[in-house]
Chains A and B, each alone.
Chain A
Amino acid sequence: MKNHIRKIIISVTIGSLLIFLSTSCNKDALLDKTPITSLDNTKALVTEADYIALTSSAYEPFQWQVGPYTVFPVMFQDIRADNCVSQWASYWVPGGVYDQFPIPANDPSVLGYWQKWYTVISRANTAINFVKSFTGFTTAGLQQRLIGEAEFVRAFAYFELVRNWGAVPLITKYIGSTTDQIIYPRSSVAAVYVQIQSDATAAAAVLPLSYSGNDLGRATQGAANTLLAKVNLYLKNYTATVNYCQKVINSSVYSLEANFADNWSLTNEYGKESIYEIGYQSGLTTDGYNNKGSYSYEFFGFLGAPSCFGNFVPRQGLIDMYDSTDTRKNATFILPTTYLPDLNEYASVETNLYQYFWTVPAALQSQASTRKYYIPVQTAEALPTIGSSPLNEKVYRYADVLLMLAEASVMGGGGDGQSALDQIRTRAGLASIPLTLQNVKDERRKELATEGWDRFSDLVRWGDAPTTLSFKGFKQGRDELLPIPQSEIDLVGSADLPQNPGY
């Protein structure tokens, strides 16, 4: 019996010891792990700089081109319209989808483009939410500016969404947890436009006219007014369009480059004609969406140059639009007759082979590459990877503003449309032509071709798409809009997220 008691005592002692030992380890240190290479949100937002960084992140998806999805804007405008063909044959499947109609609802790039702009919106919503409630700003006007920047990118993103998908879910609140509302039904086109105008107007009121140094590329008053001009053009509010264009013009911040090609010169980033552009740089992370460089040279570049894919081939119909004396022609295309100083040869040396054995899509009879995002071979070869071109991408140019003014003027919005059109013509080395809608349309196409922001949407808003794009199977009532990404419908349900008509 005594022995038995001894055993029990020892067992209890050891048992207690075990429990003591195990709890003596620092339980909190063991189980409360804070992120190491990311930040705890309660600690991330402390200083003014943190709120700047939070707002800046809303711009970052503008740089997304190739990652989980391929989302060059050129696919959705120039290829989807009549300016470019994805490429010869089949080297490039993501682009090939945009050569024809209908675009499938399960196309990865449809989801990618949707996600890209909604990520901008989400980050803008987050920034507005936190910036508004932060009381520690010491720099005068910074809080208002950051909110204005976020409102601009949010308006920009909703404009991309509404012109590509029509009525989309309209979210302007910060979603902070899975317990917040995450099912949003499709809103109405009108409501989305109201939001865009309200955001852009608010942004224009607080944003500065310009920046310098490390802030070049942030949203300006000019960018917000340009967006408002464009939105009103889409809404056929021609007077308002003229009005906003004149605001941009009268700000005296912008003017046309004397030489059209200088818009895409590495030595002229954020030039005087640029109202809004997407910044890139070489030498940083080069994988997927994290790439800080641009894939534009690798994807768009001239096939004869090293490592270029030569996608986005200009259609012959576009090339034929240009007069031989039009200085934009040589800056927009690399043709067999183009002399390339960096290669020290005529492009024909390389392009003669284009039709060689390639199964050329019927639409493509051209021997050409796009030139705007071409960079000299010597620069390209020195890049860490060919997919990290430092050349910025132009979004809004002053020329666009002049052309919008010209168009709105033709449509009765007032203003001196002829003078605006003449400025574009003169810079291109061409004589004046009368201010007619068709002339403005043609000029607009030639001026902005292959830049990726206008062609398809212009055709749709003009009502020209069904005729102009009939050759590639455009179906009225369906192909004006992209399909809602199928995976999104699968997730949310078609009651809240019904598919666009015809798909």
Chain B
Amino acid sequence: MLISVTALFAQTATISGKVTDSTGAVLPGVNVSIKGSTNGTTTNTSGFYKIAIPVSVANPVLSFSYIGYITQELPIQNTTNFDIVLSKVKSSLSEVVVIGYGSQSKRDITTAIGTVSGKTIESLPVYTSEQALQGTVAGITVTQNSGSPGSPLTIRVRGTGTAGDADPLFIVDGLQVPDINYLNPSDIASMSLLKDAAAAAIYGARAGNGVVLVQTKTGKRNADKPTITLNAYEGTQNLGHVPDLMNRDQWVAYYNAYETAHGGTTITNTQLQQLPNTNWYDEVFEKNVPMYNGNLSVANGGKNYSYYISGSDFNQEGLVGGKEGKSSYNRKNLKFNFETDIFKNLTLNVGADVVGETDNYLDENQAGTGVAILNYIPALPPVYPAYDPNHPGVPFNMGDISKPITVNGVTLPAVGAVTNPFFALMLNNNQAVTNIHVYNISGTWKPIDNLTVTSSYAYYGYYSAAGSFVPALDFRPYQNFYNTYADYTQTITQSAYSQWEGNAKYTFTNLTNQHLDLLAGFSVLNSNGNATSQSGSDFYVNTLKQVNFALIVDPTQIVNATPSAFATGLLSYYGRLNYNYKEKYLFSATIRSDASSLFGPTNRTGIFPSASAGWIVSEEPFLKESKVIDLLKVRASWGVNGNNFISPYQYSTIVNPQSGPTFGGQNTPGISIPYLANADVKWEKSTQTDIGVDMNLLNNSLGVTVDYFDKLNSGVLIPVGTPAYTGYASAAANIGSVKNTGVELLVLYRQNYSNGFAWNVSFNIGTDKNDVTSLGLDGQPISGGNIGYIFNDPITRTAVGHPIASFYGYELGHIDANGNFVFKDLNGDGKIDANDETYLGSPFPNFTYGATLGASYKGFDVSTFLYGSQGNKIYNATVRLDASFTNRPVSYGEAGAPANLLGSGATGTNQTEVSSYYVQNGSFAKLKTITLGYTFQKSVLRATKLSNIRVYLTGQNLFVFTKYTGVDPEIGQSSSDNPLDVGIDRGFNPQPKIILLGLQAKF
């Protein structure tokens, strides 16, 4: 900050003055120094200083620095007396936080809200918006489902509270959207995470899983010129961890052991030398796979308008099949926000986000015939070549049972059930092209002082066309791989949300020592969607790019799948009261009423109240003078939220028209009742109490936030309870309750020094204890996570007294001399049966944590970000026991290993029972990012029009600390809509190691 004061110029000057803070209080001990010299002094107890300026110093500049305050520099021109006002370093508590239907000073907030600023997002650099929540907010668990480009993330706020849809509610600029994957992270101004019930209660019925509020960027009024910002990076990706699988020699030894035991033919040492030693991870995972992101934005504002326009292009290729175009994700965003005063008291706001996504994807975390490439990679033995040695480009068929398989003259067994990933890549041609259009318009009217009336309309439209193409190909006679006719399936999915809202807010201003504001409003939300699918075989063309149903050889063979469609509606009223006395005693209460079409007329409406209170202890006389404590706030909240994330029409008997048999060779009309209607189905309720403390210490350089929460989901909507002998599937019923309790801690420390060095450190940790407290008609458990091709039993069980989706099976006592699994006879009845099965661990962590460390000095900045998860278990189902002669981890060849089942597949020795043998410690700590940046000095930029330019180098996922033996311990749900199939590794795309070079420039 520069201050010019005109006064008399002195030949040799002594400068003196007084330093105060913004309230006028004197500041003793402030460092006062002359830049470029060693002279310096400090202010005395009355805040006065006196310093002599040597003649030798030309154009002297005084520097005033004080911990917790912004350093000021002052060129001495022609005056001798300067009084200085130092302003405090902006503390985190003076921030304004976006809350439901409004914003509030962080200082006044009495609920548990986590925030992520746009600045944090810029520094990370993330490619999907959900990633920005990972590790940055305590109490939220974000897991990337896989490292595939564009892969969705699993977000859980304060644990999983329901067996149904456990995703939080996403609100972008006031509009409910299904996820925030579509957003360009650079467009985000702030994200607020409403964690406790009181914060979320203004969203009532849909807030039971927490709420993620996103505010996008806008222009600022009265800007002197347009601000043009360019953000771009280019990166290269590589595979990180490779599981410890058998190499050629180890596998042949393992194979020989099996053959010897079963009277088969072994591979001789001479033969072994003829065999390749294929590392399938090396073969399949590509090196230095590119990704890039470019984002350009313009923001400006005049006296009565402002705008923000941005465009971005993000592209990431996958490590598997990326270069062949089989795996990549591209997102293009065009975004604008514009606001202007139409009249003096009426402001109009319009915005749009037009998004195009192209996703080329591979199937993963499943084992399908021919397509599950990522499942095949760890299963293929190293002794087979990737391609036919004599015919380049022809993938080798190690599963051919039509003739003996020979590799360099050595006869090898046929591998069961899995196939060459390069062949699978040829079969895999999946592309989803998605268009998302978001529009919003709103008006804000201030008819009188202190009253604001807002009405808004917003629309979210989703259109996705996904094509899957299997080309016709024939590698015979070289390799027995062929597909006679090309197959093509196209699925079109559309959905739309439209929302109309209105509210009025009144602030009482003429109350002595008190503040009161009131908000009341309504919301109307319509959503609908449909899906249709067509498939056919035998086309005139043979690539995904060219194929369409006009080019099918026989149009009468086009098969139309049964379409599906739905429509839902939600009508809500809400109100909120914020009150404080002397800005010391804070109180807030909300109420919301929601009526949803998902429930029957008698249960349609739910009422969701909440209350919260806070006490700013540091405003009390006994703390007000404290030098250590700048702010101390204790707060408590209670509230009820809902969850209505169930399928439509569960309350009424519906009739499925597509259930006719075939009579006389033709389809016959058939109608049937698919599930037993539950007329009583109603809102799932989530009641939560939160107690928290916010502290700012040491001149606001240290911030601490602690929260304890206790969340009880009751009436959990679970589609169970109907025995199969009724012939019906179960409708959703309110049967179950789940309790989550935990503690969250956030610590921030930052320090700036007068020499320009600054550093900051932050740490957050959130614990969660998940317990199912009641379930079902009589507590019957719910199973999930089937891997039918290996295990008969489902992998997870949700039951009273245990965390949701706990792994359930036998506890391994020991592996006997024959390699048989000997399970523990837990009930002591002398036999091992289903009654001995037990809970083997939870896929959910005891706690997750994030830590950042950053420092800057003279244009250089460095930052690191670590994310970790502790106590979660992973069910490692990557060993394909069912598929004969597949590869195994190295440990299977060691002493005490499970019996060698190499050629027999999933039979015997208890290996195919769900057991603790497969449950592994999934704890991990990942160095998510480490960044080194340099911001060019202003003096360098003066010649250009640039106001700011920064270059940076970032490494992502460079180090992973884990005991998990699979390829990546960060694993989410197998699919986004099944919270009971979580933490099971069937083979998925690991997250790549990334090196990025980026540029940020402002004009």
Contacts and interface: CB of A to CB of B under 8 A. Distances in A.
Nearest to A503: B833
Contacts of B649: 33, 35, 38
A7 interface: yes
Contacts of B522: 18-19, 21-22
Given A30-B524, A286-B535, A279 B662 contact: yes
Given A22-B524, A54-B672, A485-B724, A30 B788 contact: no
A171 B401 contact: no
A499 to B, nearest CB: 10
A91 B673 contact: no
B672 A178 contact: no
B604 A31 contact: yes
Contact of B402 (A22, A49, A304): A304
A434 interface: no
A358 B903 CA distance: 7
Contact of B569 (A31, A182, A270, A485): A31
Nearest to A490: B780
Interface string A108-129: 1001001100111111011000
A376 interface: no
A463 interface: no
B666 A31 contact: no
B663 A56 contact: yes
Contact of A36 (B402, B403, B566, B573): B566
B596 A7 contact: no
Interface string B698-730: 000000000000000000000011111111100
A178 B680 CA distance: 9
Interface in B511-570: 520-522, 524, 526, 530, 535-538, 557, 559-570
A91 B907 CA distance: 11
Contact of A7 (B448, B484, B660, B906): B448
Contacts of B884: 89-90, 358-359
B565 to A, nearest CB: 4
A488 interface: yes
Interface string A138-155: 000000000000000000
A280 B670 CA distance: 15
A293 B506 CA distance: 66
B654 A35 contact: yes
A292 interface: yes
- For B485, B566, B670, the residue with the greatest tally of chain A CB atoms inside 10 Å of its CB is B670
B-side binding surface: helix, strand, loop or mixed? loop
B671 A54 contact: yes
A410 interface: no
A221 interface: no
Given A7-B448, A126-B672, A304-B402, A91 B521 contact: no
Contacts, number: 326
Contact of A90 (B404, B722, B883): B883
A63 B661 contact: yes
Contacts of B726: 118, 122, 171, 175, 182
Contacts of B536: 384
Contact of A35 (B604, B648, B667, B723): B648
A287 B535 CA distance: 11
Interface residues of B, number: 117
Contacts of A304: 402
B504 A44 contact: no
Interface stretch (B300-308, B413-421, B848-856, B949-957): B413-421
A253 interface: no
B789 interface: yes
A293 to B, nearest CB: 9
Contacts of A269: 665
Contacts of A491: 720-721, 723, 776-777, 780
B660 A91 contact: no
B657 interface: yes
A21 B597 contact: no
A215 interface: yes
A430 interface: no
Interface residues of A, number: 116
Nearest to B595: A31
Contact of A108 (B485, B568, B788): B788
A14 B504 contact: yes
A11 interface: yes
A412 interface: no
Contact of B559 (A182, A278, A384): A384
Contacts of A211: 664
B629 interface: no
B664 A215 contact: yes
A493 B778 contact: yes
B904 interface: yes
A186 to B, nearest CB: 10
Nearest to A285: B561
Given A33-B567, A485-B724, A57 B659 contact: yes
A265 to B, nearest CB: 13
A225 B560 CA distance: 39
A492 interface: yes
Contact of B654 (A39, A63, A96, A125): A39
B393 interface: no
Interface string B580-608: 00000000000000011100010010000
B655 A90 contact: no
Given A21-B502, A31-B604, A304-B402, A218 B727 contact: no
B669 interface: yes
A21 B535 CA distance: 46
A428 B728 CA distance: 44
Contacts of A383: 537
A126 B402 CA distance: 50
B648 A33 contact: yes
Nearest to A349: B402
Contact of A60 (B559, B659, B678, B776): B659
A69 B870 CA distance: 36
A281 B728 contact: no
Interface string A354-394: 00111100000000000000000000011111000010000
Given A15-B504, A126-B673, A175-B676, A60 B661 contact: yes
Interface in B604-663: 604, 648-649, 652-663
A413 interface: no
A175 B655 CA distance: 14
B403 A385 contact: no
A214 B451 contact: no
Contacts of A216: 663-665
A383 to B, nearest CB: 8
Contacts of A487: 724, 783
27 contacts: A10-B451, A11-B451, A18-B504, A25-B500, A25-B571, A30-B569, A30-B571, A33-B566, A33-B568, A36-B566, A38-B655, A39-B657, A41-B653, A56-B663, A57-B660, A57-B671, A60-B670, A90-B906, A118-B724, A176-B653, A184-B725, A214-B666, A215-B664, A281-B666, A285-B559, A285-B560, A491-B777
Q: Sort A-B residue pairs by CB-CB distance and give the 8 closest, nearest first.
A: A90-B905, A122-B727, A22-B522, A279-B662, A30-B569, A57-B670, A216-B664, A57-B672
Interface of B: 262, 264, 401-404, 413-414, 416-417, 447-448, 450-451, 453, 455, 482, 484-485, 487, 500, 502-504, 506, 520-522, 524, 526, 530, 535-538, 557, 559-571, 573, 595-597, 601, 604, 648-649, 652-674, 676-680, 720-728, 731, 733, 776-778, 780-781, 783, 786, 788-790, 792-793, 834, 882-884, 903-907
Given A33-B649, A216-B663, 15 more contacts: A7-B450, A19-B522, A21-B502, A33-B597, A36-B566, A53-B668, A54-B670, A91-B882, A96-B906, A123-B672, A283-B557, A292-B667, A359-B262, A382-B538, A491-B780
